[in-house]
Amino acid sequence: MVQKLAILTPAIVVAVVIGVLGLIFVPSDIKHKNIAFPEGTIRVDQDVIKVEIAGSDADRQRWLMFREQKLPLDSAMILVYEKPDLYSTWLLNIEYDLDLMWFDEEGNIVHMVKGASPCKNTLDAANCTYKNTKPAKYILAATSGFTDEHEITERSKMIIISI
């Protein structure tokens, strides 16, 4: 057992260092490139909201990363999954606090986090990963204050107009 640890420990340290360096030195053209996501419209309770749609694996991984400009309070990003499940969001390389809302297939809100703080560094994963507790198919992410602006509560309902 001690021999395995003696071999694995340096390998783990090297992997972590390479990962951290990779995140620190992401080329600026990737960091500052604004990716155009498809747009759609949803309604939450009585408010109609313009959304950017992250529907593919690549879009869901990229989503709001490196975006310096906050989303206006009348818009959001929706992460769309193929089936309901427990989905976590890791707020790595997110520049501002977010309101996160998980919705099931019927549009019922199943979990909500107001003012979710982004990661301060890459080793901060435990403090900046948020996960629903009931299966959801959609995650709505918006600038902190969005839920208060639109009076979204645990009883709110989302209707998809076009995505």
Q: 3-class DSSP state for residue 116?
A: strand
Could you give the 3-state DSSP secondary structure of residue 53? strand
Confidence (pLDDT) at 22: 64
Q: Which residues contact 78 (CB under 8 A, 6 or more apart)?
A: 40, 42, 51, 52, 53, 54, 138, 139, 140, 141, 163
Share of the chain above pLDDT 70, in %: 83
* pTM of the predicted protein model: 0.78
- State residue 26's pLDDT score: 57
Of the pLDDT bands very low, low, confident and very high (cuts 50, 70, 90), residue 163 is confident
Residue 154 CA: distances (Å) to CA of 14, 50, 80, 119, 145: 44, 21, 20, 26, 15
